[in-house]
Amino acid sequence: MLPSERHAIILEEVSRQPAVSIRALTERLGVSRETVRKDIEQLAQENKLNQVRGGATSVRTHEPPMVDRTQTNREGKERIGSYVASIVPDGASVIIDSGSTTLAAAQALATNHQYLTIYTNDLTIASVLSPAASEVTLLGGRLDFSENATMGPDTLDHLSQYNAEYALIGVGGISARTLFTDFSLEGASLRHMMIERSQRPLLLADSSKFDVIGKVAMKPLPLDVSLVVDSELPKDIFEALSSEPVEIVRV
C-alpha cells in the first residue's frame, strides 16, 4: 500500500468519525504502529488533521459556538448581508435559516425594509426582524440551546406549511471533495427543505466556510440556487461546483 493511499484512507476515517486511533488504523491499513504514527505526523503538519495521543482527530470536530462565530470574518458577513438586502425587494416573503451569516443578512434587511414576511427558526433573527417586518413567523420545535434556534421534526412540519419567494440559507462548510456539508443532520434536513420551499434560494457562505468539512453531507441541491460568497472561491472548490446547479455570486 502506497503512502498516498494510506493518507487518503486516514483522512477519510477522520472525516467520517471525529477521531481515529492508531490501533484501529494499523489494522485497517496493515502496517505498523510506527508507520501510522508518522503518517499522522505528516498529515498534521499539513493541517489535514490533528495529532493527539493515540491517534488523530479531525481538524474541526465541532462547530465553534455561536458567540465566537458571529465574530469570525464579520466584515465578510456584513458585505454578504448588504448584498442580500439589495436584491430582496421590500414586501417579499423570506425564509431565513439560523446562523451567524444569515443573522448578518437579517440585520441588513432590518435597516432597509418595512414590509417583509419572514419565516425563521432562529430566535435572534426573529427578534431582530420583528420591528422591521409586517409579519414574522417563528417555526416551532425543540429549542437548540447553542444555536438559539428550533430544530427537529416539528420544525420541518411547520415549515412545510409555507412557501416563500426567497430563502437565506447558511452552510456549515464547502470543500471540493464533499461540496456542501453541515454539522447536524437535523440542520441539514431543515436547510434542504428551506431550499425546496422557496422560489429563489440563496446560499450564504463567507470565506471562513471554505475548506471546512462538516460531518453531514447535504443532499444534492433540489434546484438552481445562488451561492453568495464574500471572496474568490478556492480553485478546486470552484471546479467541483461547476457541475452543480449553482450560480456563484461574488460580492
Partner DNA sequence: AAAGAAATTGCCAATCTTTGCCAAGTCTGA
Partner DNA sequence: TCAGACTTGGCAAAGATTGGCAATTTCTTT
DSSP assignment letter at 177 = T
Residue from the set 29, 31, 44, 52 that interacts with a copy of itself by CB under 8 A: 52
Helix axes 22-29, 33-45, angle to 10 degrees: 110
Stretch that binds a copy of itself, among 87-95, 104-112, 148-156, 171-179 (CB under 8 A): 148-156
Distance CA 110, CA 177 (A): 36
Between 65 and 89, CB nearer to DNA: 89
Site residues (CB under 8 A) for a copy of itself, limited to 70-129: 123, 126-127
- Report the residue from 158, 211, 248, 251 that binds a copy of itself according to the rule CB under 8 A: 158
Identify the CA nearest to 175 among candidates 52, 66, 15, 27.
15
Find the distance separating the first CA and the last CA of the chain, reported in whole Å: 45
Q: What is the C-alpha to C-alpha distance for residues 219 and 118, in angstroms, rounded to an integer?
A: 25
Is residue 142 within 8 Å of 131, Cβ to Cβ?
A: no
CB-CB contact of 239 with 217 (8 Å) = no
22 binds DNA, rule: CB under 7 A: yes
Please give the residues from 27 up to 86 whose contact with DNA meets the rule CB under 7 A: 30-35, 37-39, 41, 52-55
Contact positions toward a copy of itself, by CB under 8 A? 1-5, 8, 11-12, 15, 18-19, 21, 50, 52-55, 57, 60-62, 123, 126-127, 130-131, 135-143, 145-146, 148, 150, 154-155, 158, 161
Contact positions toward DNA, by CB under 7 A? 2-3, 6, 21-23, 30-35, 37-39, 41, 52-55
